Every structure is written in structure tokens, then in C-alpha cells.
């Protein structure tokens, strides 16, 4: 009996090993997507920052392709992540508010890859990545990193994770190092075929944890010098700690930025550990931010305020299988391009083209024609609906009152002379600006039609439980 059981077990092991070996002959790459909350491009080394905030990301950029001007589809997490995962602008996937979710008829990146035989797993740290948002569609393993989190419910089963999530913005188990640990454990499991891993890290989100030794490297003094100093390590909203629009003394500004940078550096350490586990000859890696972060350039801390460049401009780096080495793309691109890029790498044919276009178009010699880069925020903290268009180095921004729909303001910025978008230049007689306005107007009309024709409105919204309301308030999204 003992020997027969041993033979059976050995046979099972051999079968598993054979499956793993067969999977290695699949020519399609493993795909790893890392998104980081609130990660600004200009606070990364590969984005030109002087501080050593992102050595792992910089090394990845040197061995792959970096996109100098990548813009998020929205200036806050849920609509931006949903655009990454669907390849659609927010108005076309429906997840545009804190209580909204991806429309049920929308197929996600994970669904398409799972349908092509990919093993799919996600380890995410954000209330806006809760399964109830629809982002879990297609993932065989989907874990919201939180205290005492267990195995996820089967795909399609009702999720009660919203009630279980802690009210803390950054609970112990959502720490970048813990999220990385869980992702690495899954990567180390043998699987009979290609895999798709999504990791979302929350750490750079406000409040800014003081990460040592990095904070002390970036800032010579203490975070607080007196009892009256605002503590940007606490609270749900930095604009409550120090009122938005009120001038912040330079020493406090320096301390706040160093806190943010220390979070970015700490996150980069976690990303580096994940990258170290990958066979880059068989893996395609994409690292980006879900959106950026204002650090009081316009008088505010955070994001979701005004769709400023600081809130939209994110790093975007690709490396690994079939990716050129050491290439820099200056042409503006959108994060809605990510889905079509990864599906192209996975040879996932037979799908309807989303709003984006594969970034592989930049891998050859020369530069293809630039595409219009649109962003939108239908539920901004400023009670506006904001649409923007970037063409080359000019960005046009139009704002509407969220309730009445009336035109609020129109601004144009020239990044060549005003990279921080501090001085709008709107000239009625400028033919190039009029052309931008015509293009953006057509896009706004198209997006509004798409949003209001988005299908059956039932099932669009998340159930707003007391626990979820408390989480959103803790993150500063409800006032």
C-alpha cells in the first residue's frame, strides 16, 4: 500500500513537472504590471529628478523603454485604474465616482488574458481596487492586502470585503513590502503556462509615512521643529493639516516633499524585490503610476483637485521580452494604451480595439505620428467636470460645473515655457489653440454620449456600506 501511494504521488509530481515544462515552451511572455498610487514622473530618477528616489525603476528604464510624457486617464485612482484595465476612457467604462464601478458589459485585461490561457493574480492595496469596483473581473486570485486577509472569494461571488477593510489608510498589511511579499510568493509557484500579475502599491498616498533612512537623506532636519508645525504624516487630507491656498513656509514645504520622496524610495525598494524574481528573457514588465500628486504647486496637496499636470503626468517604463533596450520615447502617450499593449504582447487576437493603441508602435525605427492624449475627471473634489487634451507640448483644459453643466473655465498651457502649468496662455486668435479646442470639443461630446448611453444603469454602483464610507473619508475623498 505504501509503495502504491508513493507511485501515485510521484506520478502526480511528474505530471505537474511535465505541465510546467510544457508551459515553458509557450512563446508568450509572462506579464507583470505594477501600478503605484500618486507616483509623479518628475519625482523619479528616470523622469529627471535629482534625488535618488527610484534606483530600481531607473535600472529597469535603462534596460527597456521609458515614455517621457505619459498621462493618466484621470487624476484619481478608480477611473485611472479602470482605464488601465479596460483600455477605455472613464466615460466609456463608467467607474467615474467613488461609489461607481466598471460597467458589467466591459471586458477587462485580466478577462481577456485568462481567456487566452494566462494564470491571473492581483495583489492590490487600495479601497478603489476592491473587488466590488469590477477590477477583479478575470483574476483567478485577487487579494486586497489588508490585515487578516484570506483567500479571495471565487470569481463572480458576492464580495463583502468592503465591510472587512480597515479604516486606516495604510494598514500594516497594505505596506509595500507586504504587498511585494505576497506577489513574490505567487511568482515562485510553478504554473503550467504564462502568467499575468498585477501589483498596486499605495504607499506614496497621503498621509506620508516618514521612511528611514530615506527621509533623513532627503531632509537634513526633523519632520517637525515645533508643536505648531503641520504634521503631514497624519490626517486624511493634507489640506486640513495646512489650509489649501495658504502659503507654506519653505522649511515646511521641504519637509513635506521629503516625506513624499521617502515613500517613493521605500516603494521602489519593494518593486526592486519583485523585479529581482523575474526571468526578464520571458517576462514583459510595465511599471507606472495610477496618477500623480500635487505638492502645493497650485496651493493644494493630493490629487483629484484640478487635473493639473502634477496630478496626471506619471512614469511609464516597459522592459523585458521583445522590448528594445535603452530607448526613450518623447511622444506623449496615455495609460489607456497599456491594455492594448499587453494584449498585443500576449498575441490576444480577436478583440475589439479599445481607446488606446499598442505602445509597440514605438519600438521600430523612427517615431509614428502622435495620437491625441485625453484625460477627464467627472467627479473632481473641486465639484467640476474636467476634460483635457495634450498635443505635443500644449495642453488645453476645459472645466464644467458638475451640477449645472455650465462652462466654468478654459485654460491652455505651453509646457515648453511653463512646465509647471502656472501661467495659462489662452489666445482667441491663435489658430493652433482653436484647433485644440475643436478637437477637445468633439471628444467631450463623444464621451458624454458614451457615458449616458452606457447601457442598463442598474448594477453600476457599489453598495455604500458604513465601512466603505468610513474608508473613503479616511482617504480624503468624501467631505
25-54 pLDDT, tens digit each: 678 999 999 999 999 999 999 999 999 999
Burial class (CB in 10 A: 0-12, 13-18, 19+), 417: exposed
For 238-247, 287-296, 307-316, which range has the lowest pLDDT when averaged over its residues?
Answer: 238-247
Cell of 387: 476634460
Report the share of the chain in percent with pLDDT over 70: 82
Q: Using CA atoms, how far apart are residues 28 and 38, in angstroms rounded to an integer?
A: 31
Cell 487634451: give the residue.
389
For 46, 196, 208, 265, the CA distances from 56, given in Å and listed in that order, are 10, 21, 21, 9
Domains and CATH numbers, the chain: 26-373 (3.40.720.10)
Q: How confident is the model at residue 457 (pLDDT cuts 50, 70, 90)?
A: very low
Q: Residue 241: what pLDDT?
A: 86
Report, as an integer, the average pLDDT of 233-240. Answer: 82
30 grid coordinates: 509572462
Helix then strand then coil, % of the chain, to nearest 5:
35, 20, 50
Q: Tens of pLDDT along 175-222?
A: 999 999 999 999 999 998 999 999 999 999 999 999 999 999 999 888
Taking alpha carbons only, the member of 389, 474, 383 closest to residue 433 is 389
* Contact status, residue 334 vs residue 73, Cβ threshold 8 Å: yes
Answer positive or negative: Cα dihedral of 290, 77, 147, 108: negative
Pairing outcome for strands 64-67 and 327-329? parallel
Average pLDDT over the chain, rounded to whole?
83
Number of Cβ within 10 Å of residue 168's Cβ equals 12
> From the CA atom positions of the chain, what is the Rg in Å?
22
pLDDT (tens digit per residue) in 66-109: 999 999 999 999 999 999 999 999 999 999 887 789 998 899 99
DSSP letters of 375-431?
EEESS-TTSEEEEEEEETTEEEEEEEETTT--EEEEEEEETTT-TT--S----TT-H
Highest mean pLDDT: which of 125-129, 149-153, 243-247, 391-395? 391-395
Q: How many other CB atoms sit within 10 Å of the CB of residue 165?
A: 21
Please, which residues have CB within 8 angstroms of residue 179's CB and are 6 or more apart in sequence?
Answer: 123, 124, 125, 145, 199, 200, 201, 270
- Alpha-carbon gap, residue 288 to 318, rounded angstroms: 9
Q: Give burial (CB, 10 Å; 0-12/13-18/19+) of 111.
A: middle
Selection from 53-62, 139-148, 352-361 with the highest mean pLDDT: 53-62
Percent of the chain with pLDDT over 90: 55
pLDDT of 287 over the 70 cut: yes
Burial of 462 from C-beta contacts in 10 A (0-12 / 13-18 / 19+): buried
Amino acid at each position: 500500500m505504501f509503495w502504491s501511494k508513493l507511485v501515485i504521488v510521484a506520478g502526480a509530481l511528474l505530471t505537474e513537472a511535465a505541465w510546467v515544462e510544457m508551459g515553458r515552451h509557450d512563446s508568450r511572455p509572462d506579464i507583470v504590471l505594477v501600478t503605484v498610487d500618486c507616483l509623479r514622473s518628475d519625482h523619479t530618477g528616470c523622469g529627471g529628478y535629482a534625488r535618488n528616489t527610484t534606483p530600481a525603476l531607473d535600472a529597469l528604464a535603462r534596460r527597456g523603454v521609458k515614455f517621457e510624457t505619459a498621462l493618466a486617464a484621470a487624476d484619481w485612482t478608480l477611473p485611472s485604474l479602470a482605464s488601465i484595465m479596460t483600455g477605455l476612457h472613464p466615460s466609456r467604462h463608467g467607474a467615474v465616482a467613488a461609489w461607481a464601478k466598471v460597467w458589467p458589459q466591459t471586458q477587462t485585461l485580466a478577462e481577456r488574458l485568462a481567456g487566452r490561457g494566462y494564470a491571473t493574480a492581483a495583489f492590490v492595496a487600495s479601497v478603489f481596487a476592491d473587488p466590488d469596483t469590477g477590477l477583479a473581473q478575470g483574476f483567478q486570485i485577487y487579494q486586497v492586502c489588508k490585515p487578516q486577509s484570506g483567500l479571495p472569494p471565487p470569481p463572480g461571488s458576492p464580495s463583502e470585503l468592503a465591510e472587512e477593510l480597515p479604516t486606516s489608510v495604510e494598514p500594516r498589511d497594505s505596506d509595500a513590502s507586504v504587498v511585494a511579499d505576497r506577489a513574490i510568493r505567487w511568482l515562485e509557484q510553478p504554473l503550467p503556462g504564462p502568467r499575468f500579475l498585477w501589483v498596486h502599491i499605495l504607499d506614496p498616498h497621503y498621509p506620508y509615512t516618514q521612511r528611514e533612512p530615506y527621509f533623513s537623506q532627503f531632509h537634513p532636519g526633523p519632520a517637525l521643529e515645533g508643536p505648531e508645525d503641520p504634521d503631514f504624516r497624519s490626517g486624511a487630507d493634507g489640506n486640513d493639516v495646512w489650509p489649501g491656498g495658504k502659503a507654506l513656509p519653505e522649511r515646511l514645504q521641504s519637509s513635506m516633499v521629503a516625506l513624499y520622496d521617502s515613500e517613493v524610495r521605500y516603494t521602489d525598494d519593494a518593486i526592486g524585490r519583485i523585479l529581482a524574481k523575474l526571468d526578464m528573457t520571458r517576462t514583459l514588465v510595465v511599471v507606472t503610476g495610477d496618477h500623480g500628486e500635487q505638492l502645493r504647486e497650485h496651493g493644494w496637496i493630493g490629487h483629484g483637485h484640478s487635473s493639473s499636470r502634477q496630478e496626471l503626468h506619471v512614469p511609464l517604463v516597459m522592459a523585458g521580452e521583445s522590448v528594445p533596450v535603452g530607448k526613450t520615447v518623447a511622444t506623449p502617450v496615455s495609460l489607456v494604451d497599456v491594455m492594448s499593449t499587453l494584449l498585443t504582447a500576449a498575441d490576444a487576437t480577436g478583440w475589439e480595439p479599445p481607446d488606446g493603441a499598442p505602445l509597440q508602435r514605438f519600438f521600430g525605427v523612427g517615431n509614428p505620428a502622435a495620437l491625441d492624449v485625453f484625460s477627464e475627471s467627472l467627479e473632481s473634489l473641486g465639484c467640476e467636470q474636467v476634460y483635457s487634451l495634450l498635443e505635443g507640448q500644449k495642453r488645453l483644459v476645459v472645466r464644467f460645473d458638475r451640477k449645472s453643466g455650465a462652462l466654468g473655465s478654459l485654460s491652455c498651457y505651453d509646457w515648453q515655457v511653463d512646465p509647471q502649468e502656472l501661467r495659462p496662455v489662452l489666445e482667441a486668435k491663435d489658430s493652433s489653440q482653436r484647433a485644440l479646442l475643436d478637437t477637445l470639443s468633439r471628444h467631450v461630446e463623444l464621451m458624454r454620449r458614451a457615458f449616458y448611453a452606457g447601457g442598463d444603469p442598474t448594477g453600476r454602483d457599489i453598495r455604500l456600506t458604513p465601512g466603505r464610507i468610513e474608508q473613503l473619508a479616511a482617504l480624503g475623498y468624501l467631505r
